[in-house]
Structure 1
């Protein structure tokens, strides 16, 4: 049996709140920064005769995934700083 919604009732999923969107954006920005730092530190470089061209092509995906996990686990504090800055800028209007 299928449930019937009253006329005008929305069945669309709830939209994320602006604060949640800002936190997610700050975490993504930190992850991007961490990925660049990890790449600069040499993560993903292969040794000669290592995994070949396939390894080189997918190393950036591994680095990005690692950076995202680092940011989700608390990162290095940049996401919090980015979020506070976004909230301050929002209140300056």
Structure 2
């Protein structure tokens, strides 16, 4: 599959009682194209831009990207992939933890 676009929409929450941040995300490959593919990154520990790294690693694990490259930005640029990342913070930790 030729990848033209990668869109990652993440949600982040903060567990104040333990001082940890968590996220989940939806990753869409080739948004709006006939070969569009979407999958979810599960609720997991991470903060700031970690969701971007996890999306890239998941694409590699699924065999959609075959590379030894560890930096997603370099890979996307070298392969002319349009990448759009966004994250919204402030979600409720308890709700996200149970999948809401």
Tell me which protein shows more helix as a share of its residues. 1
Whether TM-score is above 0.5 comes out as: no
